[in-house]
Structure 1
Amino acid sequence: MIAIVSAPTNLGLRPPTPGSVPGTAKAPEALREAGLHAVLMSQGARDAGVVLPGRYVDDPSRDPLTLRNQLAIVEHAQRLAARLVDIRRRGDAPLVLGGDCSLIVAAGLASQVTGRGGLVHVDGHTDSRHPGNSSAIGALAGEDLAAAIGRHLPEIADIDGFGPYFDADATAHIGCRRDDEHLDEVSETLALTIPADRIVVHGAVRAAADVLATPRLDRGFWLQVDVDVLDPAHMPAVDSPDAGGLSPEELTRLLEGLAPRAWGASVTVFDPDLDPTGAHALTVAEIVATGMRDLGRDVNA
């Protein structure tokens, strides 16, 4: 059974404009309004509640070698991880509706406890900025994959001594653009990297099959999906839209292939502040309702 968890965090993002806060915290309720919860629950899912984050604070005096909202991110990750562990021990598959992709830290902590192992990171960017390749760290939503595999500050990449949360050779990245500045590093580090243009050319079904054929990913993984993997022609309601992404149909087919083997999943970075009519919420809801319908079905097969 799918257990829907709302995690309305914006802690990992930069302010969109001075004095404002990112709108991703509104995403779970925007998706509820778009009918996502009703559709999933009609298919047998249950509502597993909400894990609220701390207050967003853009501190101009923050040490540049720390993350924005660092303590609040750690505290939220610990509480969300506990919820995910509980859901998994009940035999259900958690579907986390974010929020920004700093949520991957909670998934990593839970993965260490439940022993589920791998990570499939679907994102329009590699999100692999870290202290070893940049002097401009600070927004975890652009650094979450680096943190997930242990290439970040120990305060975020080794919470409670559980890091690295995912082994690099049990991690796949799907969906970045060819001009991503960290594509070469990620390709050399991870078990599998599939840029978006390969999916456009060769198809989402083949991409999913390649993931499932990868050693250490064939028996279960956490599935992190950032909707900026979509082309902005279809999904402009994200903080960093970049041309060259997937269509809704391609993303849906990719998720249909991956979700059955995932023990849980998170969907992130949709920003309702950039969707005044609610049209893009409907797009995300349809993709998730169809693509994630069989989440966790084959994990123990």
Structure 2
Amino acid sequence: MALSRRGGTGLVHVDGHTDFRHPGNSDKCASVAGEDLAAAVGLHWPAVADIDGLGPYFDRQRVVHIGHREDDEEATEARATLGLVISAASAIEKTPDEVGSATRDVASAGYWLQIDVDVLDASIMPAVDSPDPGGLNTSQLTALLAQLAPGAIGASVTVFDPDLDPDGRYARLVTDVLLRGLSELGKDL
């Protein structure tokens, strides 16, 4: 909402899922965690997508999603609606510089960077509520974040579940990726 008040802010959504479920494409809307990107661009109930009359929070054409798996049910609609949508497989095939450049072309400088750690492959990061195979490895995510961080005005990190990490090994892994990947956050602004 604060970014909506500011105006003109892009969004880069790095997530293992498009989170593009909404009342227009599903009767199962009940968990904003699977619906947050749709809500951010105004495709949800007004109580979620238009708080204080500020929706949509981001201009759809300045929104980039990176990292969903090929079987994501809402990927086709996200591609038709958002400025740029890149699957995990495509992000892995391209260089981090190519993905970063394409992202900056759409989101422009001064975007918000949202990172959901389930973008990592389930074999690397099982301490999330929806672990799936086919995601990025830690080196790929670190390199991608290093490309994206300099143009971001801020970042948020979600979905890590400490209850699924009793010895703290996955928390240390996420912390390492974030420290290295976001070390130059906002540098280019």
Per the normalisation by structure 2, the TM-score is 0.97
Query: What pairs with 1:217-296 in structure 2 (closer than 5 Å)?
Result: 217-296=107-186
SS at match of 2:38: helix
1:181-227 CA deviation, whole Å, 9 max, x = no partner?
A: 0000000111101000012112322211210122xx22210000000
Instruction: Please point out which of 44, 65, 84 is paired with 1:192.
Output: 84
SS at match of 1:213: helix
Residue 115 of structure 1: how far off its partner (Å):
2.8
Residue 114 of structure 1: how far off its partner (Å):
2.3
For 1:261, the aligned partner's letter is G
CA contact (8 A) 2:150 2:185 kept: yes
Residue 136 of structure 2 corresponds to residue 136 of structure 1 = no
Between the aligned partners of 1:298 and 1:113, the Cα distance in structure 2 is 22
SS at match of 2:68: coil
Aligned-residue RMSD, C-alpha: 0.9
Query: What pairs with 1:14-33 in structure 2 (closer than 5 Å)?
Result: none
Match of 1:37 in 2: none
Between the aligned partners of 1:137 and 1:212, the Cα distance in structure 2 is 31
Match of 2:63 in 1: 171
SS at match of 1:194: strand
Between the aligned partners of 1:239 and 1:298, the Cα distance in structure 2 is 34
For 1:227, the aligned partner's letter is V
Between the aligned partners of 1:205 and 1:255, the Cα distance in structure 2 is 10
Residue 7 of structure 2 corresponds to residue 118 of structure 1 = no
CA contact (8 A) 1:116 1:263 kept: no
Residue 105 of structure 2 corresponds to residue 210 of structure 1 = no
Unaligned runs of 5+ in 2: none
For 1:256, the aligned partner's letter is A
CA contact (8 A) 1:203 1:250 kept: no
Between the aligned partners of 1:239 and 1:208, the Cα distance in structure 2 is 27
Between the aligned partners of 1:257 and 1:129, the Cα distance in structure 2 is 28
Bigger Cα Rg = 1
1:152-196 CA deviation, whole Å, 9 max, x = no partner?
A: 000010000000000110100000011100000000111101000
- The count of residues paired between Structure 1 and Structure 2 equals 189
Give the percent of matched residue pairs that are identical in Structure 1 and Structure 2: 53
Residue 116 of structure 1: how far off its partner (Å):
4.6
Match of 1:68 in 2: none
Unaligned runs of 5+ in 1: 1-108
Between the aligned partners of 1:258 and 1:228, the Cα distance in structure 2 is 18
Between the aligned partners of 1:287 and 1:270, the Cα distance in structure 2 is 13
